[in-house]
Amino acid sequence: MSALATRAAISRAGHSYLAPLSQVGDLPEQMSRWVKEGLAKEGTLRKVLIQDEDGTPRQIARGYEVKRSCRYEGESWEERVLVVQSKAFADKERHNLEERLQKAEAALLALTPPIGRGKRQITQEADVKSRAEAILKKYRVTGLLAYTYEQQYKREEKLVGRGRGGPNRERQMIEQVRYQITGVQRQSEAIEEEKAMAGWRLYCTNAPQTRLTFEQAVLEYRNEYRVERDFGRFKGDRLVIAPMFVTREDQIVGLPRLLSLGVRLLTLIEHVARRTLQQQRSTIAGLYLDSPRKTTKAPTAERLLRSLIHIKLIIMYLQDRIVYQVEGFSFVHERILEALVLPSDLYTSLARTVKRDSQTTPAA
């Protein structure tokens, strides 16, 4: 989506785009420079706030924007680059960084175990360096950790050949060399700089500020519709488009079209439920089997429908009447119907008693 050719085509057609910028080419260097410029003027960064369920404002992001000119195959336009730091993303990256540092420290110290049975020793300095650098690269902490090592000697006198020792027996000195990592040090300045860079992303748009402000752009992309979820539903355990056991061409065309109706229905159910909860500023509970009290303001269509399978319609054939009873209908189901803007008696209205004709026979 953020390819230059794609953005040029959208601009040429007179439309607007909002997309994340991929970290390719010289963009990583530009991003590093823009982030450092933003941190230098931290007090002027624009904050993006949302309201919690109780109406309390909460900051979810901050940043600023720069303008630049773009050109592609004769098409030129002005673009806004949004330099944004997500608070949740930054906290997650810092947490992951701390975990990687701890794992790398443990791996470096375990690289040269003490002398003992079954403990393989490193006898070459080049091996110590190469293995230590491989650990730093594996956990992506190169430049964030430093290590020190020492060379240890052990001289031992041994007899030459077999037999008992004696005053005139030939002897030789055996020298054993091993390398031991003595310590691992954190590079505080580099780590703090890495933490400061956490959570930053670049977005681009050609929409003017009068149409799409910085805050609106962040919120719109945060609540974006992800088409990948539809493809996931096609391949999920509900629709299961693959493997496709069909032989005719019309079946190959028809089955995806039929399943696409199911995807549309699931998408509609999810959209309506989330929109209702957002308008009500409320949540819904009881959708998680392992945690009945857990609430959510963004339920999935699959969880909503799964909760409805516990409703049962029982039909009793008596001599003079047929009794329909609904069992399993609870407050959770009532909340689901409310979120989907469906009648609250959609299921309970099925409970009724019907006079039975003497000639009526029970259904098989």
3-state SS of 113-180 is CCCCCCCCCCCCHHHHHHHHHHHHHHCCCECCEEEEEEEEEEEEEEECCCCCCCCCCCEEEEEEEEEE
Residue type at 194 in one-letter notation: E
Residue range 186-204: mean pLDDT, rounded: 93
CA distances (Å), origin 206, targets 180, 191, 326: 57, 35, 56
How high is the pLDDT of residue 364? 45
Asked if residues 136 and 104 have their Cβ atoms less than 8 Å apart, the reply is: yes
Asked whether the whole model's pTM tops 0.85, one would answer no
Interval 9-24: pLDDT, tens: 999 999 999 989 888 8
Mean pLDDT of the chain: 87
Interval 44-53: pLDDT, tens: 899 998 877 6
Residue type at 310 in one-letter notation: H
How high is the pLDDT of residue 362? 54
How high is the pLDDT of residue 186? 94
Q: Which residues pair with 65 in a beta bridge?
A: 82
**Alpha carbons 82 and 77: distance in angstroms, whole number:** 16
Residue spans per domain, the chain: 4-93+194-222, 113-192, 225-364
Which is more confident, 243 or 117? Answer: 117
Residue type at 7 in one-letter notation: R
Residue type at 281 in one-letter notation: R
Helix/strand/coil for 312? strand
Poorest-pLDDT segment among 129-138, 174-183, 263-272: 174-183
**Alpha carbons 194 and 39: distance in angstroms, whole number:** 13
**Alpha carbons 269 and 274: distance in angstroms, whole number:** 9
